[in-house]
């Protein structure tokens, strides 16, 4: 770690963050990064000199444990402590992500209208101008190189590049599995199959494409271009998302090929962060048709694998109302299999999604608890169940009540359960 002061800037290179993801209530950084401190803000940069985090130092900053993150698609996420409303019990994290784009967020937080947050984002523009005017000739070469790198990655340049990752993988990632929260949404995405099986009526994130596997050649090209895109900062990644909405429905050979090829090509064994994870979406049909020998092979991958399945409901009337073309019998079968997989395999966690809405048939919650009673006779530590709140713009009272309704369910569920906020890359 090397630090210098120039004008009113305190610049530190090669800072070391934590080597493993952790659930903490303060702003913990991971991997390696650089930092520029001004009297009012702390700006943190990835190994390409691209801005990643801003936090305020002044008394107007909303909370010392809150910060802004710039995602690789150039969106802002504000990490709020969530007040006294128990963010961990709701979301499994000690913060509430406030997104700068539309989602099913149930929180009322809107930091993007807070003056301190607005000026932090503007301060980054100003920092860039300050660096342009800086006489850095007296600084050591590595410090000058870093400043040059930050200047190349100006706010305008990063804005221009915001869609590049989608060009590489050939589609937008409109939603990531909720399990990606375990790595703070820092995943390298590779699409191995487009589309999904059901095209459900209620779904706001579905792809326009029909389910179709990509070729190995296409996957290799994505990996090659992603390596270039992530550049030096790839060493700060330890996790991969195999998209799109139902990668488990692909032939297992393709899943294994993509996972192993990515692991080797991105050199995840030597990542600055330990504990590589693989994230996949699956479906009721794809889990039913996957033989146990497939999970034996997934267990042997050099990752901990999270597979998230959209069950939505175990009640036929609700499934029909949601426009999800599956039967309740298939949901029951797939759920029982997912519980069995969670018991058999240490390195695989199947998680499930169910909807939570104010206008759903009575049978929805009843059938959910019948499913739970049938599959659990005691608490189990994995296999999280997520509830996706269906936001009803006409019923604002419901939005205010979601957490309360969720807690009424949570206390009766013998596995970890959380609310699912739709978050993209
Ligand atoms: S909920 Fe899943 S399966 Fe249904 S349309 Fe959306 S992405 Fe496809």
Closest atom of ligand 1 relative to the 199 alpha carbon: 5
pLDDT by position in tens, the chain (length 425): 889 888 899 999 999 999 999 998 888 999 999 999 999 999 999 999 999 999 999 899 999 999 999 999 999 999 998 765 678 888 898 888 888 877 777 766 788 999 999 999 999 999 988 998 888 788 889 999 999 999 999 999 999 998 999 999 999 999 999 999 999 999 999 999 999 999 999 888 888 889 999 999 999 999 999 999 999 999 999 999 999 999 999 999 999 999 999 999 999 999 999 999 999 999 999 999 999 999 999 999 999 999 999 999 999 999 999 999 999 999 999 999 999 999 999 999 999 999 999 889 999 999 999 999 999 999 999 999 999 998 776 767 777 888 899 999 999 999 999 999 889 89
SS3 category, 48: coil
Count: domains in the chain: 2
**Which residues are CB-neighbours of 273 under 8 A, at least 6 positions away?**
18, 19, 20, 21, 30, 31, 236, 237, 238
Distance 205 CA to ligand 1 centre (A): 7
Q: Which of 109, 134, 161 is the last residue of a domain?
A: 161
Distance 201 CA to ligand 1 centre (A): 9
Distance 175 CA to ligand 1 centre (A): 10
Q: What pTM does this model have?
A: 0.95
Per-residue CA distances from 294 to 168, 291, 303, 348, 351 (Å): 29, 6, 15, 11, 17
Q: Do 191 and 122 fall into the same domain?
A: no
Distance 278 CA to ligand 1 centre (A): 20
Which of 245, 322, 352, 353 to mutate for ligand 1's pocket (most ligand atoms within 8 Å of CB)? Answer: 245
Q: Do 261 and 287 fall into the same domain?
A: yes
Closest atom of ligand 1 relative to the 203 alpha carbon: 6
Ligand 1 pocket, CB under 6 A: 196-200, 203, 205-206, 245, 283, 310
SS3 category, 265: helix
Q: Do 137 and 199 fall into the same domain?
A: no
Containing domain of residue 91, as a range? Answer: 2-161
Q: Do 63 and 37 fall into the same domain?
A: yes
Distance 165 CA to ligand 1 centre (A): 22
Q: Do 226 and 265 fall into the same domain?
A: yes
Q: Which of 161, 195, 229 is the last residue of a domain?
A: 161
| CA dihedral sign, ordered 267, 273, 275, 277 | negative
């Amino acid at each position: 770690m090397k630090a210098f002061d120039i004008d009113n800037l305190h610049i530190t290179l090669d800072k070391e963050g934590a080597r493993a993801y952790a659930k903490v209530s303060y702003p913990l950084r991971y991997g390696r990064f650089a930092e520029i401190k001004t009297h009012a803000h702390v700006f943190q940069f990835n190994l390409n000199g691209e801005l990643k985090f801003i936090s305020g130092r002044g008394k107007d900053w909303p909370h010392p444990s809150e910060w802004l993150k710039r995602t690789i698609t150039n969106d802002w996420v504000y990490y709020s402590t969530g007040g006294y409303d128990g963010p961990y019990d709701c979301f499994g994290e000690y913060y509430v992500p406030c997104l700068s784009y539309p989602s099913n967020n149930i929180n009322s937080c809107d930091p993007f209208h807070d003056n301190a947050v607005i000026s932090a984002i503007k301060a980054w523009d100003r920092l860039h101008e300050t660096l342009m005017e800086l006489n850095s000739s007296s600084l050591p070469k590595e410090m000058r190189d870093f400043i040059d790198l930050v200047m190349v990655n100006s706010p305008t340049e990063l804005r221009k590049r915001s869609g590049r990752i989608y060009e590489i993988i050939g589609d937008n990632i409109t939603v990531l599995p909720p399990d990606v929260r375990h790595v703070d949404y820092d995943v390298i995405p590779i699409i191995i199959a487009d589309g999904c099986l059901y095209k459900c009526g209620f779904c706001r994130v579905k792809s326009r494409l029909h389910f179709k596997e990509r070729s190995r050649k296409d996957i290799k090209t994505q990996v090659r271009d992603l390596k270039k895109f992530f550049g030096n900062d790839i060493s700060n990644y330890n996790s991969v998302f195999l998209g799109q909405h139902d990668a488990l429905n692909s032939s297992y050979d393709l899943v294994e090929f993509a996972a192993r090829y990515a692991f080797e090509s991105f050199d995840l064994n030597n990542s600055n962060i330990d504990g590589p994870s693989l994230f996949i979406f699956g479906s009721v049909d794809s889990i039913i048709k996957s033989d146990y020998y497939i999970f034996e092979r997934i267990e042997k991958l050099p990752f901990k694998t999270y597979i998230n399945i959209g069950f939505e409901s175990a009640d036929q009337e609700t499934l029909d109302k949601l426009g999800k073309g599956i039967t309740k019998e298939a949901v029951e079968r797939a759920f029982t299999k997912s519980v069995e997989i969670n018991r058999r395999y240490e390195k695989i966690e199947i998680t499930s999604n169910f909807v939570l809405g104010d206008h759903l048939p009575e049978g929805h919650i009843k059938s959910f608890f019948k499913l739970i009673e049938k599959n659990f006779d005691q608490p189990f530590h994995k296999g999280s169940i997520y509830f996706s709140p269906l936001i009803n713009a006409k019923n604002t009272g419901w939005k205010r009540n979601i957490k309360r309704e969720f807690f009424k369910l949570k206390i009766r569920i013998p596995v970890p359960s959380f609310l699912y906020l739709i978050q993209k890359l």
